[in-house]
A and B are shown apart, each in its own frame.
Chain A
C-alpha cells in the first residue's frame, strides 16, 4: 500500500498526463461524427479486405470440383432441353399436356449423408417451408438420389438408393422394359435391377433411367449403366448389376422433385383399386 502511494506520488505528473490525455481523446472520438465515421470506415476497410482475401483463397481451392459439377449438370440440362424442345414446339396443346410440365425442382443442400451402412440416410436443408412433402423424389447433378421419407419445417430425410428399403421403378432406356431398382449393400457404386424379362437383349453399357411410372421421378432421369447381366435361378428374368451414375460420396447439391398432378393421380388410383 505504501509502495503504491509512493509510486503514485513519484509518477503523479505522468499519471495526471495520461488521465487528461485519455479524457481529451475520448472527447475527440465520442462526441464527433467525423472521427467515428473515419474509424468505422477504417475498420470496415480492414475487415472487408481480409474477408475478401480469405474468400478468394477458399473458393480457389474448391474451384475445380465446383466447375466439374457445374459442367456435368449443364450438359445434362442441355440434353434434357434438346429432348424436349421438338416435343413442345409442335403445338400449344402438346405443351400443356407435356408431363414434364407437372414437375418442379426445389434446390437443396445435403447436410448429412452416409454410404457405408446397410441402411443409409441423407438429410437435406429443405422442409415443408420450402414445399417438400414425404415421398417426393430427389435427384443429384449426375442421377437419381432417393425418396423423401420424413419432413420437418426446415429439414427432410431421404431414403437414398443406398438403402435396403429403397424400391425404384426403372427401365432400360433403349427398349423400355421395366424393372425394379434395389441395393444389395456392400458397394456404394453398384445397385441391382431385377424383373427384366430374360428374352430382352441386354448388354453391359446399356443405360438405365427412371420409368416415370411411380410419379415420384419424371420419366428418363439418369440412374446408371449396366455392368453385368445375370440370369436368375428360375431363369425367366435377368438380374442386372448397375453402376450408379451418381457418386453418393460427393453429393452436395440436389433437387427435390415436386409432382403437381400426383395427388390427383393417387386419388384416382385408390378409387380404382378399392
Chain B
C-alpha cells in the first residue's frame, strides 16, 4: 500500500516536471501545446476514492499552473489547468462506466492500454483529452472572437497530446517488461 502510494507520488512529480520542463518549452507554431500530464488522471486505479481523485487532479493542475508557461508564454493563467483537470477527474467515473468494455472492469486493474486494449484506451483518452483541452483553451482565450482559431488549437494540441500519451504508455511497458 505504502509502495503504491510512493509510486503515485513519484509519478505525480515526474509528470509535472516533464510537462513544465520539456513540453512547455516545445512550441510548434502557436497552435500546438501538448499536455501530457493528464495521463496521470487517466490511469489512476479504478478503486481510487473520489476525494483522492479530485484533490490529486486539482493539485496536478495547480502544479502545472504555477510554472511559467514556456517560451511563448501564450497568456495561460493561474487556475486554468486546475479547473480543467478537476473537471475531467469529476467526469472520469461516468465516462468509465459508459465505456465499460464487457460487463464489469476486472478488480485490481488500471484503465490503461495494457489491460483493456489500445482501441479502448484511445477512445477513453480522446474523450478525456477533448474535454480537458476544450475547457483549457477557452479559459485561456475567454472570448468567442477567434473561435475557429481556438478550435484549431484544441484539435491540433489534442492530437499531439494523444500521440504523446500513447508513446508514454509504450515506453512504460518496455521499461516494466
Contacts and interface: CB of A to CB of B under 8 A. Distances in A.
A123 to B, nearest CB: 50
Given A16-B54, A16-B55, A21 B87 contact: yes
Contact of A25 (B55, B62, B65, B83): B83
Interface residues of B, number: 23
Interface in B74-97: 75, 77-80, 82-83, 86-87, 89-90, 93
B86 A28 contact: no
A8 to B, nearest CB: 12
A13 B50 contact: yes
Nearest to B83: A24
Given A17-B86, A34-B75, A34-B77, A28 B54 contact: no
Given A16-B50, A34-B77, A35-B77, A28 B139 contact: yes
A130 B92 CA distance: 71
A35 B86 contact: no
Given A17-B90, A34-B142, A38-B143, A28 B50 contact: no
Contacts of A34: 75, 77, 142
A17 B58 CA distance: 9
A20 B83 CA distance: 8
A20 B54 CA distance: 8
B90 A31 contact: no
Contacts of B75: 34
Interface of A: 12-14, 16-17, 20-21, 23-29, 31-32, 34-35, 38-39, 42
Closest 3 CB pairs of A and B: A27-B79, A24-B83, A13-B50
23 contacts: A12-B51, A13-B51, A13-B54, A13-B90, A14-B90, A16-B55, A20-B54, A20-B86, A21-B90, A23-B82, A24-B80, A24-B83, A26-B79, A27-B65, A27-B83, A28-B78, A28-B80, A28-B83, A28-B139, A32-B77, A34-B77, A38-B142, A39-B142
